Structure 1
């Protein structure tokens, strides 16, 4: 068998992943915080890029450096009293305890109390068990325990060491709002809920019901909202915290819903004209090539940044054209929507739409949501119309919220209720959605 070498020519079209395309894809995937980091890195590495308000920022920083010259330096003793890098709530409470004027006996009681305070700031042991434990090693009475506990509850953060939500709110109310015009009304509401025999089971529901019975419900609610239900969380060192900055803002202007980019996350950057003018005066070939290359990269970056913003805005506008009823009615108004629906309308690939919505957030009058939240599957009603699975979940939450707590509805009863309203949903689907919403079964929801 003879093997012959043969040459042939053919013309084919291939999409090359150029540096510009890679940059465009990278910027499209970044969320607002990562985008800010990328912009800062580009400004540092590329001399042609700068903030438009660079001169203003420089002036402000000089003013700050001048004004700090008059600051009073703390003494070494004062600095030693400042808590540095407190790792958790317990360390912070112990530090305050050491600075307190408690006796050795009371301090020992306080140490035991602090050991039984969880990350939320609540006491996880009752007074009786604490008395039995301490009484083994010292002579003690309940009055001493309550006195020390009351002292610990005045430590920062205020409300720490409470036995339950109502007591936590009560401690903060007495500390911060003793002279508030709604103090008496709010205190009476908290006392009424605290004395309810079912208070430990459904504290929040009882609290909301009591508030709604008063004429000043709005102002009382605002007062309670200003209190911290979990004061200890601000000191939890291992808590995974991250900041969310919306990329898109939806608001109502002159009776119309307007979708626009968040101006605060898109700092205005420009080409530095001084460096552009330098190119013509530089004779060294290597230096000239370096400047030309950086100038070209700066232009590509600005173009890619502009395209990113326009693409995200275009996708967001289409989403809220479809989900206008969400803005008017809430979750119950969400319509079925898929990535494919958007990609067809704007003639983009689904992967591009996915990059535009992944890890991007939108601020609406109803709260801040991830843009992917507005995509959901559909279910058919008896009338042949489509309804979003998110709308079903919202209906499910509302039904359970309004049910009789003494005789809660089963999944089958909820399914039948929806069917009577033209929405046919199987019992197992109701169970699945209920579990996704972390809502317990009917027997577990029943107040006994």
Structure 2
């Protein structure tokens, strides 16, 4: 026999307004204009300008001001059930539009791209006198070239693909012959199957009468493993050359491009960084302002509000007419609500950005005053969250993909967040400061005898930084600095 029971539970849910605010908060300034344009296109009740109808403003603020009073506490907000809200008849036509910047690409900065590498290679393929079959094979090979310029798929697999997809039967020898022609294209080294072949392809285009080029070809051809491990003494003995000749050959090799696909006509891109905040020093007083693009002028359409009043006063006699009027009123109300929510979310975004940035400037006051990186204090997301009385996730969304313009240059906000390293004096030093010292030590080390992680640890300990060797290795890797053996130079 079934037993019925009644349970009461308390759940935390986000309202549609809060979802919209969260998405807008993590968008960088460079993307905000596009997001606003998208909203203006889909919502006729939203307009650009400052002249807001006071009557509309009062009417809708009474309905939604309570929701926004607790916006910063959306993690603990007991708002409306989003699913239930969107299922209501009055709001069935309204949905939240994606804002582009999700969790998976929040660290990605906007770029501007030109023609692709594949397009350039296909164009160069057309200059060869190939028949229809050979051209199809060439296009298949070009399609197998990866972004860095290498073709890593086995030729046998490419042959099988052509048999199944294009009914063209070929073999590895024919593929290798056409690939050799593709490897003559620009940029030099394109279509290589490994690093060794990539370097040799570039060396083959240099003047073989130069002795250093001859030595470089010998090194890559016969002593590639020794070269990658920087066993220069062994190479020198085997080739029977002096120090100067070896240095010249190594210089030729190190000037080659290990990733030819990243240059040339193909995949060239230009990245840009737009500051979300501007910090200026006015006689010792730090002023923080938002980029003007973060404060767009938006308003609710007066004509749409008047339209709602008109339909409300319309005679509703007649079932068919009443149904039509009800649908129209619902649509107009949806758009007015969406416009008001969007404007409020933009305003809340401005306030949250400014409040967070002011807390960061206050925490790192000495740095913003002088630009001295050694004065950066250890700072984590929790430190700022406590100061502004917001959740850590809110600070994280502000810090991601945002930048600040100072008198000393443009810095991403993530730059100011770092762990603390204890010192002999009992104070904490920023890991950023330790990384700068570590980089200076490596930059000034003897090139023929680079410092190991153990030696770097001892030097830092002598300077008063209590740091372990594994932490030195971690910071070195974060700085993209190889181990001592690979930093060795002649």
* Cα displacement (A) at 1:384: 0.2
Question: In the alignment, is residue 250 of structure 1 matched against residue 279 of structure 2?
Answer: yes
The answer on whether the counterparts of 2:453 and 2:469 sit within 8 Å (CA) in structure 1 is yes
Question: 2:297 aligns to what?
Answer: 268
CA contact (8 A) 2:33 2:293 kept: no
CA shift, 1:293, in A, is 2.9
- Summarize the alignment of residues 70-149 of structure 1 with structure 2, pairs less than 5 Å apart: 87=118, 90=121, 114=185, 117-118=188-189, 124-125=199-200, 129=204
Which position in structure 1 is the counterpart of 2:44? 47
Change (3 A) 1:317 1:248: same
* Further displaced range: 427-436 or 295-304: 427-436
8 Å CA contact retained: 1:312, 1:357: no
Q: Structure 2 vs 1, CA of residues 307 and 89 (structure 1 numbering), >3 Å: closer, same or farther?
A: same
**Which residue of 377, 387, 391 maps to 1:345?**
387
Given the alignment, which residue of 277, 298, 312 partners 2:353?
Answer: 312
- Give the drift of 1:388: 1.4
CA RMSD of aligned residues (A): 4.5
Residue 263 of structure 2 aligns with which residue? 233
Aligned length: 323
1:23 to 17, 20, 24: 20
Given that 2:50 and 2:299 are in contact with CA atoms closer than 8 Å, whether structure 1 keeps it comes out as: no
Q: Deviations over 1:203-236 (max 9, x none)?
A: 9xxxxxxxxxxxxxxxxxxxxxxxxxx9973633
Aligned partner of 2:468 among 426, 430, 433: 426
1:333 deviates by 2.9
Q: Residues 436, 17 of structure 1: CA spacing in aligned structure 2 closer, same or farther, 3 A cutoff?
A: closer
TM-score (norm 2): 0.54
Q: TM-score, normalised by structure 1?
A: 0.59
Q: Which residue of 1 aligns with 2:255?
A: none
> How far 1:113 moved relative to its partner?
5.3
**Structure 2 residue matching 1:235: 3-state secondary structure:** coil
Mapped to 2, the partners of 1:285 and 1:370 lie a distance apart of 50
| Counterpart secondary structure, 2:472 | helix
CA distance in structure 1 between the aligned counterparts of 2:444 and 2:395, rounded to whole angstroms? 38
Which residue number corresponds to residue 37 of structure 1? 34
C-alpha change, 1:252 and 1:94, in structure 2 (3 Å) is: farther
**1:336 corresponds to which residue?**
378
C-alpha distance in 2, partners of 1:292/1:116?
Answer: 58
- Alpha-carbon distance in 1 for matches of 2:421, 2:302: 58
Cα displacement (A) at 1:86:
7.1
Distance in 1 separating the partners of 2:397 and 2:202 = 55
Relative distance call for 1:281 and 1:375 in structure 2 (3 A) is same
Q: Tell me the CA shift for residue 95 of structure 1.
A: 8.5
TM superposition shift of 1:358: 2.4
Partner secondary structure for residue 263 of structure 2: helix
Cα pair 1:117 1:124 within 8 Å, conserved: no
- CA gap of 1:401–1:97, structure 2 versus 1, over 3 A, is farther
1:413 aligns with 2:455: yes
| CA distance in structure 2 between the aligned counterparts of 1:428 and 1:362, rounded to whole angstroms | 32
**Distance change (3 Å), C-alpha of 1:128 and 1:41:** closer
Structure 1: 5+ residue runs without aligned partners?
A: 55-82, 99-109, 133-140, 144-194, 204-229
Distance 1:264 1:91, change over 3 A: farther
Q: 1:200 to 1:393 in 2, by over 3 A?
A: farther
Cα shift at 1:91 = 5.6
C-alpha displacement of 1:434 = 1.4
Q: Conserved in 2, the CA contact under 8 Å of 1:315 and 1:353? A: yes
Gap change, CA 1:289 and 1:435, over 3 Å in 2: closer
Residue pair 1:87, 1:235 contacting (<8 A) in 2 also: no
Show the 5 A alignment for 1:173-184. Answer: none
The verdict on how the C-alpha distance between 1:96 and 1:243 changes in structure 2, with shifts beyond 3 A counting, is farther
Q: Which of structures 1 and 2 has the larger relative contact order (alpha carbons within 8 angstroms, sep 6+)?
A: 2
The structure-2 alpha-carbon separation of the partners of 1:4 and 1:297, relative to structure 1 and needing over 3 Å to count, comes to: closer
TM superposition shift of 1:116: 6.4
Q: Give the Cα–Cα distance (whole angstroms) in 2 for the partners of residues 325 and 38 of structure 1.
A: 36
The equivalences for 1:275-294 within 5 A come to 275-282=304-311, 283=314, 284-294=325-335
Give distance in 1, aligned partners of 2:204 and 2:11: 75
The SS at the match of 1:345 is helix
Report Cα offsets for 1:314-350 as digits up to 9, x if no partner. Answer: 1112112222344434443321111111111111111
CA distance in 2, matches of 1:408, 1:118: 31
Cα distance between partner residues in 2 of 1:289 and 1:375: 47
